[in-house]
Amino acid sequence: MIDIVAECSGAKTIGICGHIKPDGDCIGATLALSLYLKKRLPESDITVFSDEIAPCFDCVEGIKQFNYAFDKEQPEVFIVVDTTENRTGNGEKYFKNAKKTINIDHHVSNAEGCGMVNYIVPTASSASELIYDLIDPAYLDKEIAEAIYLGIAHDTGVFKYSCTAPKTLRIVADLIEYGFDFPTLLDKTFYEKTYLQNLILGRILLESQMHLDGKVISGFINMKTMVEMGVCGKDFDGVINQLRITEGTDSAIFMYQINAVTYKVSLRSKHIVDVSKIAEHFGGGGHVRAAGFYCKGEPEDILAEILKLMEADFQRG
C-alpha cells in the first residue's frame, strides 16, 4: 500500500492518465483519484489527461473536466492508472519528463509496475478497487463513490467475472450507501447500445466462426465493412463479451482492422485458457480471463497463431 497523498504532497502540478481507448474502469479510476486528490491537496493543480471517451459515458459529470488535448505544461508528479506508460498515448511525454512517476494498476502483465512509486495488485478486480483502497474513508463522497462503482462494475462485467471477490462486493455495498443512481449509471454506460451498435453486433455474430471443436469462437470486421456501415472502434463495446457467453465455448476472439496492416485483438476465456499470456506473446497484456493487443499482419495468420496457442492450453487442461 502507498500513501498517495504523501507521495503527491508539495507538488504544484499533478497529472493523472489512463490508457488509450479508456474503458469504464480507466475512466472511473482516474476520475475518482482526481476528485480525491483535489479534496486532499487543494493547493495543487490536478489534471486528468485522457484519450477520447465513448459517448455512453457522457452521463458521468466529472469527465467534462478531463483534458483531451494534452496541452498543459509538464506536471511535476505524473500518475499512470490501469496501464503502463507506453499505453498512455500522448501522456507518455509527461511520464518521461515528470520529477516523480506513480503507477497504479491491477494487470498481471504489469506486475512490477512502471513508476518510481508503484501500487500493483494483480488480484484486484479493477484499478478502481485500488483507488478505493488508497482513499481515506473520511473523504469519500457521492461523486467519488459513483466513479469507483462505475469502474468496478465495468471491469467485473457487472460483478459476474471471476475477478469479483467477496472484498469487491463489500466495497460495492459501501459505495451504494452514498445514494447515487447506480441502475441508470449501469444502463447508460454498460447495457444501452445504439441501433448501429446492435446492427454491427448482429453482423459480427452472423459471420462468426467456431474453432477447436467448438471450444473457441471468433469474430472479425475489416475496414471496408466498417466504412460501409459507418462504425469505429467505440462501436464494438460489448462484442467480445457477447461472443464469450456462447454456449459450449471456453474462449472468444474478436478482431477489427485499425489500418491497412494493423488489427486490434480482444481475447476472453471462461476457465482454461490464460489469455494474458497469449496477449503478451503478441506484445499486449491484460488478465488471465481478459486481455488484448494490437498486431500487424494478415488476419488469417494472426487468428491461426492465436488458435495454436489456445490449443496448447487446452491440451494442458
pTM over 0.85: yes
Cα four-point dihedral sign 74, 79, 84, 89: negative
Task: Say if residues 299 and 220 touch (Cβ distance below 8 Å).
Answer: yes
- DSSP H or E segment with residue 243: helix 239-244
What is the model's pLDDT at position 217? 98
What is the model's pLDDT at position 285? 85
Residues of the chain with pLDDT under 70: 317
Burial class from Cβ neighbours inside 10 Å (0-12, 13-18, 19+) for residue 171 reads buried
Grid cell, residue 120, equals 500493483
What is the model's pLDDT at position 108? 85
Of 192, 208, 218, 15, whose CA–CA distance to 101 is shortest?
15
Of 269, 273, 285, whose CA–CA distance to 112 is shortest?
285
Task: Say if residues 155 and 128 touch (Cβ distance below 8 Å).
Answer: yes
- DSSP H or E segment with residue 103: strand 100-105
CA distance 144 to 213: 46
What is the model's pLDDT at position 5? 98
